[in-house]
Structure 1
């Protein structure tokens, strides 16, 4: 919601003092011109998919709406074509562009499915679907802020909505989807933000790229203008098939005796430019609605399960290099990919509107091409064939990348400094032949970053702390009567803290925390058939606030596949900031 001011967007040259005052005032105005709407209150007693996550914030202007899909049926892997034309009644500039989509799966039997929308080979939505039941036809709503893709929407585009699905006598659930784009005209209260001028997709046409091994790459060729000033990469890496439960994997030599997947429990997305390391993105441990135990996620889904959030990598230190008039290649790979990941990304390029050509380059880069994770095993197997012990894997990376651009408003130097830490600690009690299968996991993945931008005597710093903690306890027990009991508990979190300062003066701070706790018990007969729905409970909470007084809060509880309570705005007061 907060946009930093770029002096190159001004009508003419500004003094350093004027730039400082404009930046500070614009920070207040842009952050205050929109409000975060509270989603409609879900129905207590319902089994429909529900999340505590907020909707996209919007200005008060009336939007023009463009339909992309209307109740399209997904029964195979063909997808549904998308055709887009800019809204004639809202030619721009736009204060906000929002994608909304609504999904339904017919009652019956169906797997969770991956879903993605592309326009002009550019990803505009990525998520998964909910699983139905014989007496449950789940419906849900998603939204995504696409304002940074404004350049894409200025001209007609074609694309594809894909929800690969199989419908036959066994898997009967048909998935339906509708989608619209909302364009909010800019006004004095809600001015149009500065958005990227060029967007380059990293995709396989109208879909993500398959990455089966560490060396596989998704690539894009960059032929950028000569006046590149800032560059970002929004990336998603989704685990599938053998990698779906990558966070429960172990070193390959012990995967068989522990009855799990190989290549360790460490995955990481690597970004390179012309073959040289340029950035790192952690892989979020998404759990889909069929994962581990489908009843864990009914009705409260896991964190981001239905609507993935791209991770943004700051490539601005490479802006001068990418503006040299030569062709360059950006590549995305997943370290330890083990069959397989799907990856997609969008390169977002800001240009210097005051100059047709800039110069610059990379001054220093301490990022290594690949991580060097440390593995510690402490396992033993007794005479009965039971393996017990621990397996830990950790990775710690600290690096700094500095680059500069000589722009129309002077030399701008950018340093991105990050600490990227990962640790997985697993405990096992496994007997492959006839004993219990117990696997417990505590995983932490954190990124602490500081981006420093020097523009004359102005020094702007953006500090971020991002964390993805995950705790999983899984047990599958043999009962004396020949039946089986499975007990699973999960604790997912998504934490974001951000602070911005100018010449040491902090002018903005925000934080957001999402948490989903789920636990369930399933009973199986001797033939491994589930004998009854799961008996469990779950809760979800989302809270965000910032230094301007904006606050959002929602808490949910559920038991035995039904929503039991909804609590909104606890600890928040009503705010509507307008100037």
Structure 2
């Protein structure tokens, strides 16, 4: 187990035990200081390793990892110094050296910083559509660097457009204390249709199933044509063929309609035809800043009348008094003890979405811990899960096309239940358009959205006690759409269970948080005339979290010694089944971390931190596992197994 007693920094253990012995005889009421908190890493050089360090997040590798991109497009190189309230913008044009269609496009973000600096949240938008939400690493005196790569192929309809604005928001401060300016480079990596099969286009071998992975639901004859390169107008038998778009292969047009043999999944597996940003105007970044539950933000939109599928993608991050929302006791706890903290409202949070004030879904965020959270020494060089690539959340809106396609404008609103200040939220509305009809017809069948069931219990005796929150909801929506491919019914079922327990002991000096979030999403689409033609997508997720913190007065004046243990993880299982086809994937990603810090005014003066992470991923084409152990800036173990060792993986 990664705990204080198993830390490899043994020379510091006697000092720690001395702290404990000295503080046992000086019990002090610490109010809410034993809650998870945010710190600045300022550990002096005698406690640090004297070299430039790479920080990284453990995640399944992208399918393109072993390939050389057909083209790299540099977009931004900038030093963020005093940039509070000032987003940086640059123009975007797709590369003429590597024209669409692409097999894959990857957004690459590189960062470097040295000195003393807080972690900062970063947003990257293209014409208001968010492509990446990330955070920076906290540096050492000698400096750190890191790289984030995210597959952004699903934004293809936007990436092919010219003369767009790329916006990067990174609010940084440089002064006598915060000495680190953050150097950032942003690029796009384009992988052409031939990059996995033609060495001349930059292939390095890589995954032989790369094409199949990216086009897994395309008809075999279509795959063959794409591999031949006919979509790019290459010369065959001395005759140059007309350049064709992927849609021309994938639609098989016949008299303005699809052939009866064409498959629903061809339409449903490709990127959206249009993406509408549900975001701010970009003056202070394109995200909405939510400061309480009633602070709901909206965007007026008009959906094209030939839309046959709609999905809203939510970006969200928690900050300020809600950065550690999962540890917030009820407001009554602070009132009972005459504390001034604003970290109340309990521990339940959800992002909710409405259209014209009609509830259409909610997302329950994964508890991301930034590199300054709880104990900064836990997150070097292995950062917390999701810290470099914050997860997004998709809600299927196809059942609501019945009133969205009326030709009128509608208001999409975003809010956070029980929010404190503050949350940064925005969304992208992905729309799939019928290429043959100017309008399609749609209607609603079922709307079932019962009230959110929340059960709260709390019992406190001054600073000690326990509070629990349980919440659950099950929604069901269905609707039909009639378009070129036929008349299809989409049924969406979403269910979640939320459990949270916070316990304070020893006059509030010891805090234990346990939380578990379970979600289940099922989207079923069926041809109303052919009941055997059905596509079913299922996703199950679980977010287990446990935090233990013991805080006592330190040896020096106004210092505190905190012993911290964190267990965080994500487990997911997804599948897509269609007639004669089924795909599935599983992910298990867990971190167990432990250490101690001595701090003054939220500045870490000394300490240790170690993290043990275990990642396992599997789908039809890949098996991947990785075990990494880090200790206060050093990697002690890093084992990667890029294949399945057994069938019982």
TM-score where L is the length of structure 1: 0.84
Matching residue of 2:309: 230
Change (3 A) 1:530 1:56: closer
Q: Contact 1:75 / 1:175 at 8 angstroms: preserved in 2?
A: no
- Structure 1 residue 47, shift from structure 2 partner: 4.5
Within 5 Å, give how 1:326-341 maps onto structure 2. Answer: 326-341=408-423
Greater alpha carbon shift after TM alignment, 244-253 vs 45-54: 45-54
Aligned residues: 516
Change (3 A) 1:114 1:481: closer
- Structure 1 residue 464, shift from structure 2 partner: 0.9
Structure-2 separation of matches of 1:403 and 1:285: 33
- Structure 1 residue 506, shift from structure 2 partner: 6.2
Matching residue of 2:30: none
Report the 3-state secondary structure (helix = DSSP H, G, I; strand = E; otherwise coil) of the residue aligned with 1:148: helix
Structure-2 separation of matches of 1:208 and 1:565: 38
Residue in structure 2 matching 1:92, options 85, 100, 123: 100
Q: Contact 1:75 / 1:164 at 8 angstroms: preserved in 2?
A: yes
Report the 3-state secondary structure (helix = DSSP H, G, I; strand = E; otherwise coil) of the residue aligned with 2:159: helix
Residue in structure 2 matching 1:541, options 614, 634, 640: 614
Matching residue of 2:636: 564
Report the 3-state secondary structure (helix = DSSP H, G, I; strand = E; otherwise coil) of the residue aligned with 2:494: strand
Matching residue of 2:291: 212
Report the 3-state secondary structure (helix = DSSP H, G, I; strand = E; otherwise coil) of the residue aligned with 1:468: strand
Report the 3-state secondary structure (helix = DSSP H, G, I; strand = E; otherwise coil) of the residue aligned with 1:302: coil
Structure-2 separation of matches of 1:151 and 1:324: 24
Greater alpha carbon shift after TM alignment, 488-497 vs 192-201: 192-201
Greater alpha carbon shift after TM alignment, 408-417 vs 482-491: 482-491
1:515 aligns with 2:571: no
Q: Contact 1:446 / 1:465 at 8 angstroms: preserved in 2?
A: yes
Residue in structure 1 matching 2:159, options 153, 156, 163: 153
Report the 3-state secondary structure (helix = DSSP H, G, I; strand = E; otherwise coil) of the residue aligned with 2:54: coil
Change (3 A) 1:562 1:354: same
1:365 aligns with 2:477: no
Q: Contact 1:219 / 1:329 at 8 angstroms: preserved in 2?
A: yes
- Structure 1 residue 489, shift from structure 2 partner: 0.8
Q: Contact 2:501 / 2:513 at 8 angstroms: preserved in 1?
A: yes
Report the 3-state secondary structure (helix = DSSP H, G, I; strand = E; otherwise coil) of the residue aligned with 1:337: coil
Cα deviations across residues 506-529 of structure 1 (Å, max 9, x unaligned)? 61111111112211112358x987
Q: Which has the higher contact order (CA 8 A, sep 6+)?
A: 2
Residue in structure 1 matching 2:127, options 84, 97, 120: 120
Calculate the aligned-residue CA RMSD, in Å.
2.5
Change (3 A) 1:308 1:44: farther
Cα deviations across residues 74-98 of structure 1 (Å, max 9, x unaligned)? 4322232221111112221121111
Change (3 A) 1:245 1:323: same
Structure-1 separation of matches of 2:274 and 2:72: 24
Change (3 A) 1:429 1:115: same
Matching residue of 2:424: 342
1:445 aligns with 2:451: no
- Structure 1 residue 61, shift from structure 2 partner: 7.7
Residue in structure 1 matching 2:367, options 242, 267, 285: 285
Q: Contact 2:111 / 2:183 at 8 angstroms: preserved in 1?
A: yes
- Structure 1 residue 172, shift from structure 2 partner: 0.6
1:50 aligns with 2:56: yes
Cα deviations across residues 212-246 of structure 1 (Å, max 9, x unaligned)? 11122232222121111111111122111111111
Matching residue of 1:486: 562
Q: Contact 2:554 / 2:598 at 8 angstroms: preserved in 1?
A: no
Structure-1 separation of matches of 2:617 and 2:547: 25
Residue in structure 2 matching 1:184, options 191, 197, 200: 191
Report the 3-state secondary structure (helix = DSSP H, G, I; strand = E; otherwise coil) of the residue aligned with 1:224: coil
Q: Contact 2:153 / 2:271 at 8 angstroms: preserved in 1?
A: yes
Cα deviations across residues 11-41 of structure 1 (Å, max 9, x unaligned)? xxxxxxxxxxxxxxxxxxxxxxxxxxxxxxx
Report the 3-state secondary structure (helix = DSSP H, G, I; strand = E; otherwise coil) of the residue aligned with 1:92: coil
Report the 3-state secondary structure (helix = DSSP H, G, I; strand = E; otherwise coil) of the residue aligned with 1:321: helix
Structure-2 separation of matches of 1:225 and 1:127: 32
Structure-2 separation of matches of 1:223 and 1:472: 45
Residue in structure 1 matching 2:467, options 391, 395, 398: 391
Matching residue of 1:376: 457
- Structure 1 residue 66, shift from structure 2 partner: 1.7
Cα deviations across residues 117-153 of structure 1 (Å, max 9, x unaligned)? 1111111111111111223x11000011111111112
Structure-1 separation of matches of 2:455 and 2:472: 9
Report the 3-state secondary structure (helix = DSSP H, G, I; strand = E; otherwise coil) of the residue aligned with 1:469: strand
- Unmatched 5+ residue regions in structure 2? 1-48, 198-210, 216-245, 247-268
Change (3 A) 1:228 1:492: same
Q: Contact 2:523 / 2:536 at 8 angstroms: preserved in 1?
A: yes
Structure-2 separation of matches of 1:245 and 1:48: 26
Q: Contact 1:71 / 1:177 at 8 angstroms: preserved in 2?
A: yes
- Unmatched 5+ residue regions in structure 1? 1-42, 382-386, 575-579
Matching residue of 1:352: 434
Q: Contact 1:98 / 1:182 at 8 angstroms: preserved in 2?
A: yes
Cα deviations across residues 48-88 of structure 1 (Å, max 9, x unaligned)? 31222133222958422221112444432223222111111
Structure-1 separation of matches of 2:177 and 2:316: 30
Q: Contact 1:449 / 1:464 at 8 angstroms: preserved in 2?
A: yes
Q: Contact 1:200 / 1:220 at 8 angstroms: preserved in 2?
A: no
Structure-2 separation of matches of 1:506 and 1:389: 53
Instruction: Please say which structure displays the higher CA radius of gyration.
Output: 2
Change (3 A) 1:478 1:181: same
Q: Contact 1:61 / 1:185 at 8 angstroms: preserved in 2?
A: no
Structure-2 separation of matches of 1:356 and 1:528: 59
Greater alpha carbon shift after TM alignment, 292-301 vs 479-488: 479-488
Cα deviations across residues 371-399 of structure 1 (Å, max 9, x unaligned)? 34210112224xxxxx3221001111011
Q: Contact 1:249 / 1:255 at 8 angstroms: preserved in 2?
A: no
Residue in structure 1 matching 2:91, options 83, 87, 90: 83
Cα deviations across residues 544-566 of structure 1 (Å, max 9, x unaligned)? 101x2411222110123311111
Change (3 A) 1:69 1:529: closer
